[in-house]
Structure 1
Amino acid sequence: MGLNASSSNFTIVGVKDAFFEDISIDFEKQIIRVSFLIPHAVLNGDYSIAGNLVGLPIYGKGLYELSFDGLSANYSTNYSLTTLQDGELYVIPQAYDFDFDVKLMKVHVENLFNGNKFLGDNMNTFLNENWRLVIDDLGKPMSHALGSIVHRILSNIYKKIPFKEMFAE
């Protein structure tokens, strides 16, 4: 059995403390690569989960909190240049790749197993003691979710700054 999980109504705290480690642009191939580090980030929101995680059955619906220490990430996107309504040329990100790693992840998930406190507390303990296995198990979906957030943030930045200002000589 696989895993079905979703998150909604989430907030992210700590992104403003991110710093870029490397930015490279290949103007000929129209590729932007960004490496960055977020020292500490916290995600809070609503979740729904059912299936197997790290080989164990898990189900529930409620609130969650994930905290990451030392989240390092690599993002790359192809882009096109488009003239917007103001007559200026802007970078429009296209398909992207995203991968990440963390030094530590902590998890707290409420209302697991229909509110069974014993099972829920033990699953939270297991998830925190085996966070690396959790990340490995959720690798692609977690990477896609985080990558989607980064892509949206960077796309909004690119829409606000004309190409000639962003890449002035």
Structure 2
Amino acid sequence: MSTMSGAVIAFALVFLVVSTSAASLPLPEFISPCARDDPKLNECALERGKTVIAHLKDGLPKYHIPRLEPLHVEEIKINQDEKSGVGINLVAKNVDIHGVSEGELRDIRIQLDPTSFKLSIFFPRIEIMSKYNVNGKILILPIQGDGNANITMVNLELGFDFTAELNKKKDSQNYLKLGEHQITYKMSRNYIKMDNLFNGNKALGDRMNEFMDVNWREVTEELGPPIADALALVIKSIIAGILEQVPYENIFPVKA
């Protein structure tokens, strides 16, 4: 898998990653807890976690979990050094991401002391539609445009690793607070289409779109990370919505 590196990334989502809540919440009814002392904790979590994403298609406001279909992101920015192989300044606005609710939890590894989680999530197809503005170069070709963009990632696999630590709140109960996260990704194909390139010059626009299609692997190395990181924030908000508002004892009881 490729690691998240290279581009300087800035993005703003229409939801907030969970803020501290004064009142505790129960586990959502569609999630069954796994005992912390279960010798097959990972197997239990994988089996019971496989259905969770589908239940979140319309979001879960009480847990600060956004609507997943489509997932709306206000803005994704890519700002890169012109000396790099793909030197792009790109702003995507009013971004709608389709296919997040079809994600499948493929693997989960839990360590409770110290606490860390490793997740592997598979998405058959992620389609991203947005308004874009781009200026810079892709490999050897200049690129400039302002219009509609469509990026379709096929067989996207995200690896999401994060740490957490126990945090006692005013209600004297312990909650897991998320720490640092890392994300890796790979896909079998990526299709990129930008309309109205070069002020609507069809010949130049068609040439650039064909070039990006032929060289999709190289282009994805630079365009993929901010998109994957936007998805990572969604995953983090889902996890934080549960871990930071449901007491630790209810998530990982001594006996389920």
* Range 157-166 or range 113-122, more displaced: 157-166
2:134 matches 1:64: no
Larger-gyration structure (1/2) = 2
* 8 Å Cα contact 1:53-1:137 kept in structure 2: no
Consecutive unaligned residues of structure 2, counting only runs of 5 or more, are: 1-81
Q: Report deviation, 1:84.
A: 5.3
2:187 matches 1:129: no
Count of aligned positions: 169
Q: Counterpart of 2:182 in structure 1: which amino acid?
A: D
Aligned to 1:151: 236
Q: Counterpart of 2:92 in structure 1: which amino acid?
A: S
- % identical aligned pairs: 28
Q: Counterpart of 1:72 in structure 2: which amino acid?
A: E
Greater strand fraction, Structure 1 or Structure 2 = 1
Aligned to 1:108: 193
Q: For the residues of structure 1 that align with 2:144 and 2:246, how far apart are their CA atoms?
A: 44
* 8 Å Cα contact 2:114-2:165 kept in structure 1: no
CA deviations on 1:6-38 (whole Å, 9 max, x unpaired) are: 222111111111111111111112211111100
TM-score by length of 1: 0.85
2:103 matches 1:18: yes
Provide the alpha-carbon RMSD of the alignment. Answer: 2.2
Would the alpha carbon gap of residues 121 and 101 (structure 1) be closer, same or farther in structure 2, given more than 3 Å must change? same
Q: Counterpart of 1:7 in structure 2: which amino acid?
A: A
State the structure with bigger RCO (CA 8 A, min sep 6), 1 or 2.
Answer: 2
2:235 matches 1:164: no
Would the alpha carbon gap of residues 135 and 89 (structure 1) be closer, same or farther in structure 2, given more than 3 Å must change? same
Greater helix fraction, Structure 1 or Structure 2 = 1
* 8 Å Cα contact 1:77-1:97 kept in structure 2: yes
TM-score by length of 2: 0.59
Q: Counterpart of 1:129 in structure 2: which amino acid?
A: V
Q: For the residues of structure 2 that align with 1:70 and 1:108, how far apart are their CA atoms?
A: 18
Consecutive unaligned residues of structure 1, counting only runs of 5 or more, are: none
Q: Report deviation, 1:150.
A: 3.2
* Range 124-133 or range 154-163, more displaced: 154-163
* Range 23-32 or range 131-140, more displaced: 131-140
